[in-house]
Structure 1
Amino acid sequence: MGTDADFEPDGEATDDNVTHPMGTGPTLADRIPVMARRQSIREIIYYFSSKPVTTIPTVTSLNIDDWPAGQISVMWVHIVSDAFGSPVCVPVMLAKGPAPGKVVGLTAAIHGNEVSGIPTIQKIFHDLAPHICNLKGAVVAVPCCNQFGFENATRFYQDGSDLNRCFASAFKAEKGVGTATRSHQYCKNLFERVLANCNVLIDLHTASFGRHNSFYVRADMRLPSVARLARLVQPQIIVHNVRDARGICHVRIRSNGVSQVGTGGDGGGGTLRGAATARGIDSVTIEIGDSTSFNRTLIGMTYAGIARVLDDIGVVEVPEFRALDETRPPTVICSHSYWMQTDVGGVLDVVPRCAELVVRGQFLASVVDIFGFVIRKYVAPEDGVVIGKSTNPANVQGDRILHLGVVAPPAMFNDDGTIQRDVVITSQHGVICGD
């Protein structure tokens, strides 16, 4: 894939130093003349210039109609206020075409230490610039949703909350149910002032600290438009994950031969994807490897997947990425997933690789004491695929071992590739996972 230079801010914007997004492969800019490329890139405010060509404005909300068509704009959007009464803002990027069309939203770093989405968004906008006059609709991006978390290399917001669990409660408070905390108000305003503009939303994440992830997508595979988005990204794995209006994950679990509705997963839901889906926005979550670092290979795959989505829904023509990459293994689609957790403390060693298929009874991990004596061995409770794994050997009892996806059987799918609405899960060995 690319070199380190691919992710460094470029110098003065000329055609000579507009790099390929992920190395030497095709980019959105390859299809137009150099002179047109030079002129259009110089007209935008962007990180690859040595310094901004004008002051970046601060606004109270993003109203796409207020911004000029046929160019890329950047701004700060006021979300909440701090203890001095000063605005706390998020950076927003807008690529607005002259023709009408869908609005695609891209978000990153809602967990502040999950940073691989930031260069992904930057490169998407870098390569949209030459095509801006042919764009239909718009692309809206928030390259860092959680400034506090990003600055402090932490997953959480300044009050210790996980922002991606706060969206449901934020909208409950809006309806007079309870009082919204600072994190809930932050999420509500972020959604209403920026993301409510979108018809499609792609939320970019990575693994948490001390874990390693495959390249995978979470999506409600019952919905044809969402299932299509997920497949266009061409991840290693797709996890079917359903959210109701409250953001809570619902599945059907067969227990002792009796089918019943169950909920699972992530501390009560409240994800951005759940909030968007509940409001009619086609939404998926993409997991791009590990936190606090850039995985260039997976960033490249994500870039190609987003380009494919933009082409498919008609925002911009990108024939280079239109076809799926046939050199990559087929995407594995899971009906659900869960984390296995330890029941003893000690030094943890997890063996399988991410995206590896495992079978029931296969050895997965061991826990030894500090002297090296084996305390416990763990095996796969059923067939599945490794979505993610713990990489932190310092294991306290109850810590996570491995994120296991249960592969959806062919009978679960409709003819159009969606998953049937009345899904029955025939086994459950852990907590069903959310975003």
Structure 2
Amino acid sequence: MEVTIESMGSAGEGIGRVDGYPLFVKDTFPGDRARVSLTKVKKTYAFARLVELLDPSPNREEPRCAQHRRCGGCQIQGLSYEKQLLYKEEKVREDLKRLGGFAEPPVNPVLGMEDPYRYRNKAQFPFGKDKEGRIVTGFYAGRTHSIVPETDCALGIGENQNILQMILDFLNEHHIEPYDETTGKGLLRHALIRKGFATGQLMVCLVINGRRFPQVEKLAERLFTIPGMTSLTLNVNQKNTNVILGDEIIPVRGQTYITDKIGNISYQISPLSFYQVNPVQTEKLYRTALEYAGLTGRETVWELYCGIGTISLFLARSAKEVYGVEIVPQAVEDAKHNAGLNSISNVKFYLGKAEEVLPEKYEKEGIHADVIVIDPPRKGCDSACLETMLAMAPERIVYVSCDPATFARDLKILCADGSYELTKVQPVDMFPQTAGVENVGLLTRR
């Protein structure tokens, strides 16, 4: 059937209507007139795939990547960047209205990038075989574990292609099999590649279904000819799981970490560390969080879900004292190390769940908070954590979020009794060419 696309959904798909019946069509944008084929029909809506673009939207532009429709990574690469930013701003505003109950949410225009490509400092490439039995690497096609062969992602660093080709050549020369999810056999599962944009340091971590990699020193010789190569490690993952990384890291050559900087703060990053993938936009995000925190040097600040201490250390030089809480042991160790690396002594990190550590420190030890900064995972905050934050009654709550829907839900709870007012929301485009958007929200105590 033919349909004209009128708007966009939360996952970046186009939405059109046939006799009032909504169709969700991937790879289409507002203004497109397209021929589509239904793939899944529900009572009140349907999903469809693009068969032919009859009349393209004036807001389209030529994608840089030939694989953008097959790969599950770039949902909106065919849309002009100006329109991508407007779409994300409206997405945040609508979620705050519909899910948060804010009639006129104070949403600023999205902070975008000068060049919205080549921004990812990290990528994880699966290895497998194609139908002809050739070893391939690339990215999974959307909602599948079928590999789309591609060594040069337009969002990734330029070094990826050289590194991956070296690994592919090595596997073929030494007859090393990639992992097969269906049989559980084969050795190489993924290659994790990271780069410190400020330092130029490169990391390669090979995720393997075993404890040794044949002739790995010879591979190290090749990889370390690449300028900036700093770390080669193995990661052991012998479980039948979709989780990419296992817990054990085996050093091969160089350090087991790389160093990067955001602003004037240095961070050591291991293969297991959480670290924002877009360092250019991360600095904008953190500077916004620092601005919203309104620190004068006299405040006690808590950061919940602090990871390796990226935001905590960014705030510490402007606060009296900072406490960070994180559930991942390795991340807490990294956070403590990063504090020492930067000679920051007014920050302390606790291991545990935010919803358990925060009540304990508040109720039993009387540690208060002038400002609380939260940066939870996509699922948002635990209800007990939200309740304790309200009980501690800080002057300001700065909420950093990677999901506008859970962001809106949690803000609704925090503002429900009138104690807090949502005064500012700043979206930041951390993930250009995708439907994702990050937000910083400021709640001020009435």
Q: Shorter-chain TM-score: what band?
A: under 0.3
**Larger Rg over CA atoms:** 2
- Give the TM-score, by structure 2 length: 0.23
- Give the TM-score, by structure 1 length: 0.23
